[in-house]
A and B are shown apart, each in its own frame.
Chain A
Amino acid sequence: MIFAIRTTTGQEKNVAEFLASRAEKEKIDIYSILATEDLKGYILVEAPNKGAVEDLVRKTFKVKGIVPGEISIDELEHLLSPTKIIESIDKG
């Protein structure tokens, strides 16, 4: 399951690193964390369930909240393969 969390714009990569080390240290089951320039103010967190994401962001001022609802992997297609967008624009 993929969830979006809100953070300070410009701090996305730093907060992603912070959360990744926290997940490892506290042994929270997190699969991946994604920060992209195309999603300002948000980080995407992949985990087996929402509870793991809640554990991850608990008691940190760096995260402003979890966006309600799940994100499907298909919705991320354009973020994960940015070159495809450029190719399709070139063709059009």
Chain B
Amino acid sequence: MKACIRCKYLTKEDKCPLCGSETSENWRGFLIILDPINSEIARKIKVDCKGKYALSVK
């Protein structure tokens, strides 16, 4: 999996399907958001779509 350098969404693609930015193989932290409406963690990192995210991307 690769992480979007902008929104940190994890994907197999070279371009992020959410925002269209480039993706990188250099990422850390693995967060799965199942319920973005109720998740405090999702609010904290400003994620509003369900899915898998990295915590940091280089």
Chain A interface residues (CB < 8 Å from chain B): 2, 12-13, 16-17, 20, 23-24, 29-38, 46, 48, 73, 76, 79-83
Contact = CB atoms under 8 A, between A and B. Distances in A.
Given A12-B30, A73-B40, A82-B55, 6 more contacts: A13-B30, A31-B33, A31-B34, A31-B35, A38-B29, A46-B41
27 contacts: A2-B40, A12-B30, A16-B30, A20-B32, A20-B34, A29-B35, A30-B35, A31-B39, A31-B41, A32-B42, A33-B34, A34-B29, A34-B30, A34-B41, A35-B30, A36-B29, A37-B29, A38-B29, A46-B40, A46-B41, A73-B40, A76-B44, A79-B29, A80-B44, A80-B55, A81-B45, A83-B56
A32 B34 CA distance: 5
Contacts, number: 70
B6 interface: no
A32 B35 CA distance: 7
A46 B56 CA distance: 20
A82 B28 CA distance: 9
A12 B38 CA distance: 23
Interface of B: 28-35, 38-42, 44-45, 55-56
Contacts of B40: 2, 31, 46, 73
A35 B35 CA distance: 17
A29 B31 CA distance: 16
